[in-house]
Structure 1
């Protein structure tokens, strides 16, 4: 059963060694991520599962490692050969920083269908014992004229729908997100969020952070059952 979930973004700049002079601008985001992970710990899960978007599907065990070398600095999360994509590497880095450990890591393709995402979420939540999900999901990259994908007026309401669903703990609203609109608004976290939807909703939900400091929407939320 799903005992708790945390939703965090996965920009490389979240890691201070890569942020450089921009580091202090993300202090509030880092603090919100830490608070969301505290909620996972407080739920006393028997398993913590990390889910994040990637180009290809993949499942990795607890010892899987990642590196941020492709983004400029070889900061490692875990030991051994780096195999985790960016989203899961940042997820492992957040857990390591909090003194927590995952039981498994799951990469879901960015273009996975809602049905595929829901099936994965249900499978992860239906495993033995109390399960906590750490969902790594970026918002839109088309929110401002300085965004990586430039401004698209459709992006803001799409992102607002995501944040509203997270604030309400509403799995049905997340499940209803349109993949085509997500692609047009360059919402990298759509598939991972729909895995969360497949795992179940929440009786208590809170959005701890929502901003677009570099033209990309970042949100942090915590859910408890």
Structure 2
């Protein structure tokens, strides 16, 4: 059963070594992520699962001990998902899950078993919620760290250029995440999310499926669009 969730953005720029001189611009987002992970720790889960968008190579389950790197972003920094169990690490973590692993290491997450799930961005809502229900049944007390960004079309300099629909989409997602409204998350338009390059849509809908019937409350901790990309942080408990 899902007992808590933290929703965090997943840009590699969240890692100060990657952001370099621009790191202070995301200090507020990092602080909010730390607060959200504190909610996860307080829930005392039996299993923590990190969920984030992934390309074909990174989709599917990544076991504890899997590693990721930020070398493709010009930084020789490696991260590990949870504990080093002394076994073969398997496939490398996709960037979103590598950022999640970095957040966990940064907050000292150590004792609870950790797994990760890379979700294809085009995955339809019904499959997302089905995956979420399966994750919630993995243990008596499951917590999710859900990585994903809102639209990438909030300004002229955004990665997807300016799209007037972006602010409305992000506002709907922000309200749904801040109120733990699973129906509203499931209702997010898949095609519109794709057009707005909103990488968080599928992971958020996985969360919605996992939270069905759990009776969790939500709290929005951060909502901003630096670089024209919607970054949201929320905690469910």
Question: TM-score w.r.t. structure 1 length?
Answer: 0.96
Q: Which residue of 1 aligns with 2:109?
A: 100
CA distance in 2, matches of 1:81, 1:61: 8
Deviations 1:19-53 (A, max 9, x none): 11111111111100000000000011111000000
CA distance in 1, matches of 2:195, 2:170: 12
8 Å Cα contact 2:218-2:235 kept in structure 1: yes
Task: State the secondary structure of the residue aligned to 1:32.
Answer: helix
Q: Which residue of 1 aligns with 2:93?
A: 84
Q: How many residues align?
A: 224
Q: Which residue of 2 aligns with 1:188?
A: 199
CA distance in 1, matches of 2:76, 2:221: 29
- Map 1:125-136 onto structure 2 (within 5 A): 125-136=136-147
Task: State the secondary structure of the residue aligned to 1:124.
Answer: helix
Q: Which residue of 2 aligns with 1:55?
A: 55
CA distance in 1, matches of 2:28, 2:193: 26
Q: CA deviation at 1:82?
A: 6.2
Q: Which residue of 2 aligns with 1:27?
A: 27
Match status 1:179 vs 2:181? no
- Map 1:13-24 onto structure 2 (within 5 A): 13-24=13-24
CA distance in 2, matches of 1:135, 1:44: 17
Q: CA deviation at 1:186?
A: 1.1
* Residue segments in structure 1 that go unaligned for 5+ positions in a row: none
Deviations 1:140-167 (A, max 9, x none): 1001111111100011101110000011
8 Å Cα contact 2:151-2:230 kept in structure 1: yes
Task: State the secondary structure of the residue aligned to 2:232.
Answer: strand
CA RMSD of aligned residues (A): 1.3
Moved more, 25-34 or 93-102: 93-102
Moved more, 194-203 or 51-60: 194-203
